[in-house]
A = this chain, B = another copy of it.
Amino acid sequence: MTYCVGLKIDRGLVFMSDTRTNAGMDSISTFRKMHVWEQPGERVIVLMSAGNLATTQAVVSLLDERCKAISERHQTVLETPSMYQTARLVGDTVKEVIASAAPVGEKADSYFNASFVLGGQIKGSEPRLFMIYPEGNFIESTEDTPFFQIGETKYGKPIIIRAYDREMTVAEAVKLMLVSFDSTLKSNLSVGLPLDLLFYARDSFKIELQQRIGQDDPYYRTISDGWSKALKAAFQQLPDFPG
């Protein structure tokens, strides 16, 4: 499986993804699931993927390759006039890949399934965050739903629901991401370290912060150990059942 979260805060967009892929329990590999296209001063686009690795790699490769072929430039993530058009482009590419992988009639709800979180900002408009389904259609985040998760989403959801605040700082948002990922890592073998972290600051049109967080990362260790202890302490502090 996979776990990726895209979170929209007033200060910008925060992305985190794990790197584990598995085909069965004994075929585990590390793959980057976060992909970035950047034109400093003009646009930053981040795409995270979950699902069939062949599909997600094909989608990313196609998007990438088309940026390089000048003649096809009208169709690329470096040229789309808006984030909405970028989401459409990614959705169309997903449909194209799934259709081409399925000459004998596989449908979108098949093993070739993939879903994506897309976020970024293009000069002239606001930062935007989308979730793209295997069928190629998509939804956009709103104030009420300021984050999207893909992959193994359930373990890490309760803490995001409770601790999210649109006015939070980047440092708090990264902490929230790590706590959510740590709960998932502790519960599900198919999500694994290292993690990829990216923060895009609103109206900066460049990437401020991008880093890989591994097992030995001191901040990750602080959060992982600290959260277990803090959770136990929080739990103990609640009154016991009186009955």
A162 to B186, CA, bound (A): 9
Chain B residues contacting A234 (CB-CB under 8 Å) are: 227, 230-231, 233-234
Within 8 A of B (CB), among A129-165: 154-155, 157-159, 161-163
Q: A103: CB under 8 A from chain B?
A: no
B219 touches A175 (CB 8 A): no
Pick the contact of A187: B154, B175, B187 (CB < 8 A): B154
A163 touches B231 (CB 8 A): yes
> With A176-B235, A230-B237 known to touch, is A186 a contact of B158 (CB < 8 Å)?
yes
A169 touches B240 (CB 8 A): yes
Q: A226: CB under 8 A from chain B?
A: yes
Interface centre among A162, A179, A226 (most CB of B within 10 A): A162
Of all chain B residues, the one with the shortest Cβ separation from A172 is B240
Of all chain B residues, the one with the shortest Cβ separation from A237 is B230
Q: A209: CB under 8 A from chain B?
A: yes
B171 touches A235 (CB 8 A): no
Of all chain B residues, the one with the shortest Cβ separation from A173 is B241
- Interface residue total, chain A, C-beta cutoff 8 A: 42
Chain B residues contacting A176 (CB-CB under 8 Å) are: 235
B235 touches A175 (CB 8 A): yes
Interface string of A175-208 (1 = CB under 8 A from B): 1101100010011100000000000000000000
Interface string of A58-73 (1 = CB under 8 A from B): 0000000000000000
Of all chain B residues, the one with the shortest Cβ separation from A222 is B239
Pick the contact of A235: B174, B179, B209, B235 (CB < 8 A): B179
The 3 closest A-B pairs by CB, nearest first: A154-B154, A171-B240, A174-B241
With A179-B238, A219-B242, A230-B238 known, 13 other A-B pairs at CB within 8 A are A154-B154, A155-B157, A158-B183, A158-B187, A162-B186, A162-B228, A171-B243, A172-B241, A175-B239, A178-B241, A219-B239, A219-B243, A223-B239
8 contacts between A and B (CB under 8 A): A163-B235, A174-B240, A209-B243, A222-B239, A223-B239, A230-B234, A230-B235, A230-B238
